[in-house]
Amino acid sequence: MSEQLTCPTCQRTQITTANCPNCETDLAILHLLANLSPVETGWDYQLRLIILSIISSFISGLVAAKFFL
Ligand SMILES: [Zn+2]
């Protein structure tokens, strides 16, 4: 939790605590998001996309088979 955030409620800047010292808005989720990498481009992500597309085409194939057979 070392990122300096700007409070979305009162626009106070350079907040490093979990709550805004000015308006007490809970900023824990914003700290969490700031700690995540902005874009997932790794092999894991591509593999998940490939598996997801295979599963969804399999399911749509099953649905089509039910309708046409
Ligand atoms: Zn605030």
- Segments making up each domain of the chain, as ranges: 1-36, 39-68
Q: How many Å lie between the centroid of ligand 1 and the Cα of residue 26?
A: 9
**pLDDT band for position 38 (cuts 50, 70, 90):** low
pTM of the model: 0.47
> Rounded mean pLDDT of 58-66?
92
Q: How many Å lie between the centroid of ligand 1 and the Cα of residue 13?
A: 9
Q: Do residues 35 and 3 touch, judged by C-beta distance below 8 A?
A: yes
Residue 15's Cβ-count burial label (10 Å; 0-12, 13-18, 19+) is buried
Count the neighbouring beta carbons within 10 Å of the beta carbon of residue 45.
11
pLDDT at 42: 77
Contacts of 14 (CB under 8 A, 6+ apart): 4, 6
CA geometry: angle 53, 54, 57, nearest 5 deg:
80
For the chain, the average pLDDT equals 87
Q: How many Å lie between the centroid of ligand 1 and the Cα of residue 32?
A: 17
Model confidence pLDDT, tens digit, residues 3-32: 789 999 999 999 999 999 999 999 988 888
Q: How many Å lie between the centroid of ligand 1 and the Cα of residue 30?
A: 12
Q: How many Å lie between the centroid of ligand 1 and the Cα of residue 56?
A: 43
